[in-house]
Amino acid sequence: MTPQEITLRLEGLALAGLCVLIYGLQSGAWGLFALLILAPDVFMLGYLVNRRAGALCYNIGHSWLAPLALAGAGMMTGWPSALPVALIWGAHIGLDRALGYGLKYGSGFRDTHLSRV
């Protein structure tokens, strides 16, 4: 592993840890956390269509943009469920990055922006 890959994985681990910490400080329900931590992997179903659709769907569900938008929308509208779900989603993304699973290229599931998995 290159120093850059190590740095990117550590960033993912740190962000996952931060999401879990904030979730705990917000008195999040750990049963809900356990139930939803793998939910973003539903976005892999796009691979049932083809590699390109799979990569697009996966990247939508594994980009920081979606959980950040959800958290922001929840804060702006007073929707109390949005922040806990966004934090669980963020923890999932961070753990994926820590394990080396990055955003996908259309060439195949193993080709990511971090490295080849």
* pLDDT for residue 116: 66
Please compute, for residue 107, the number of CA atoms within 13 A of its CA located in the half-sphere on the CB side.
Answer: 7
What angle, rounded to 10 degrees, do the helices at 3-25 and 82-98 form? 160
* pLDDT for residue 115: 67
More confident residue, 11 or 113: 11
CA–CA dist 89, 95 (Å, integer)? 10
* pLDDT for residue 59: 96
Give the domain ranges of the chain.
3-112
Amino acid at 9: R
Q: What value does the mean pLDDT take over residues 90-94? A: 98
pLDDT in tens, 26-82: 999 999 999 999 999 999 999 999 999 999 999 999 999 999 999 999 999 999 999
7 and 15 in contact (C-beta within 8 Å)? no
